[in-house]
Amino acid sequence: MPLRAFIDEQEVLAPLISDGDWEALKLQRNKQVCLPCCGADGYLRTSKQSTKHFVHKHKTGCDWKPETWQHLLAKTEILRVCQRLGYDAKTEVAGSDWRADVLATKPGKQGLIQIAFEVQWSPQTKEVTQDRQAKYKRDGIRGCWFFQRPPESDVSHDLPIFKLILRWIGS
């Protein structure tokens, strides 16, 4: 589920909205919530794990797959940390043939630094990971991977892969 939407044409990143503002927004039914993935209408929802996110209002032609709470939570935390470290970060950013879970950018000495973070909760082979990484590299983006079950792969500077362990300890 997307964490980013346009509410009355203003871009909103759900994890960066305070709990109070989020609840207030939910009550304002006359607001237009547009999902950038396909332009369809959406609405605001909060998961059991308190992760704020957007949902498609109707089944559309959009290929958005349901996401696990782990995926939502990981995207949320990555976004917040990137922002804290001074990056301009957005969720679900699409390129010509890729869509990054989080894309963080910052001006660097040799041009724009761009880092794509991918959270992979379903299994993905080494080959597919390398293919997707190659697309990022082609577009001048550094890809960084967080896996529930990392593929058998040589982790390198060109292909940073981390194993992510998430536990929900709330009520």
Binder of Zn ion out of 7, 16, 34, 62 (CB under 5 A):
62
Name the residue nearer to Zn ion (CB basis): 22 or 64.
64
Of 3, 35, 104, 144, which one interacts with Zn ion (CB under 5 A)? 35
CB atoms inside a 10 Å sphere around CB 156: 8
Strands 142-147 and 111-120: parallel
Q: Alpha helices, DSSP H only, in the chain?
A: 19-27, 69-84, 126-138
**Span from 29-37, 103-111, 134-142, 159-167 in contact with Zn ion (CB under 5 A):** 29-37
* Six token digits for residue 133: 């990484």
Please classify residue 153 by burial: count the beta carbons closer than 10 Å to its beta carbon, then call 0-12 exposed, 13-18 middle and 19+ buried.
middle
Query: Quick one: which of 1, 5, 13, 37 contacts Zn ion (CB under 5 A)?
Result: 37
- Name the one range near Zn ion by CB under 5 A: 23-31, 33-41, 95-103, 107-115: 33-41
The separation between the first and the last C-alpha atoms of the chain, rounded to the nearest angstrom, is 22
Q: Does 38 bind Zn ion (CB under 5 A)?
A: yes
Segment near Zn ion (CB under 5 A), from 7-15, 34-42, 91-99, 140-148?
Answer: 34-42
Binding residues for Zn ion, rule: CB under 5 A, are 35, 37-38, 62, 64
